[in-house]
């Protein structure tokens, strides 16, 4: 994973979250793509720096992430988060902490962040699921207390500016 095109001008907290996400992907073998999604389903932060068509084609060739873009992973994470939160309410079993979906060719992990945001990760089929969950929990513990409404707005604006700058 490479850093976003620039973190210049971002607050210390925003730069720290970018750094934490970069470390998560680089430190955990088998992680292919990671996204932080707001409680209303908007992508806030992603390990997918290349959202242009060329980068997507390269990723698809390597099977390195969702077939589309960071927005695709955000949509999936938001949908699974919504489904599991609804299920927990219907079953009256409290809040959802984490969800894991094991598939033939990979795994998907979704973990709640304290403010209602979600951390989602797409991993290879041979990943160490317990290591992925452990490192995601560390990220959530470090990010949860700083992910304020102001920081969410800053991250969203940064992503929009980056997308506009890439011509998409």
Q: What is the pLDDT of residue 159?
A: 82
**Residue 55 CB burial class (10 angstroms; 0-12, 13-18, ≥19):** middle
| Domain at 12-165, CATH class | alpha beta
Rounded CA separation 14/11 (Å): 5
What's the token pair of residue 148?
Answer: 């304020």
Q: Quote the pLDDT of residue 157.
A: 86
23 contacts 160 by C-beta, under 8 angstroms: no
Nearest to 48 by CA among 78, 3, 111, 12: 3
Question: What local confidence, expressed as pLDDT, does residue 56 receive?
Answer: 39
Average pLDDT over residues 40-48: 88
pLDDT (mean) for 43-52? 70
Q: Is the pLDDT of residue 55 over 50?
A: no
Q: What tens digit of pLDDT does each residue of 59-114 get?
A: 445 445 445 578 889 999 999 999 999 999 999 999 999 999 999 999 999 999 97
> Does the pLDDT at position 58 exceed 70?
no
Average of pLDDT values for 28-33? 93
Residue 3 has pLDDT above 80, yes or no: no
Total-model pTM: 0.81
Q: What is the four-CA torsion angle of 40, 43, 57, 62, rounded to 10 degrees?
A: -100
Nearest to 115 by CA among 87, 153, 83, 161: 153
- pLDDT, one tens digit per residue, over 104-148 is 999 999 999 977 899 999 999 999 999 999 999 999 998 888 888
Lowest mean pLDDT among 2-16, 25-39, 48-62, 109-123: 48-62
Question: Do residues 96 and 85 lie in contact, with contact meaning Cβ atoms separated by under 8 Å?
Answer: yes
């Amino acid at each position: 994973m490479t850093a976003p095109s620039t973190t210049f001008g971002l607050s210390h907290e925003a730069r720290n979250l970018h750094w934490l996400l970069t470390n998560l992907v680089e430190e955990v073998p088998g992680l292919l793509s990671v996204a932080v999604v707001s409680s209303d389903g908007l992508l806030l932060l992603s390990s997918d720096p290349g959202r242009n068509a060329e980068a997507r084609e390269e990723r698809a060739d390597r099977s390195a992430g969702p077939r589309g873009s960071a927005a695709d992973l955000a949509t999936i994470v938001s949908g699974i988060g919504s489904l599991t939160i609804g299920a927990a309410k219907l079953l009256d079993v409290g809040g959802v902490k984490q969800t894991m979906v094991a598939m033939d060719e990979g795994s998907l992990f979704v973990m709640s962040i304290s403010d209602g945001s979600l951390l989602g990760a797409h991993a290879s089929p041979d990943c160490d699921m317990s290591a992925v969950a452990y490192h995601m929990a560390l990220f959530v513990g470090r990010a949860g207390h700083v992910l304020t409404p102001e920081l969410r707005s800053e991250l969203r604006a940064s992503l929009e500016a980056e997308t506009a700058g890439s011509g998409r």
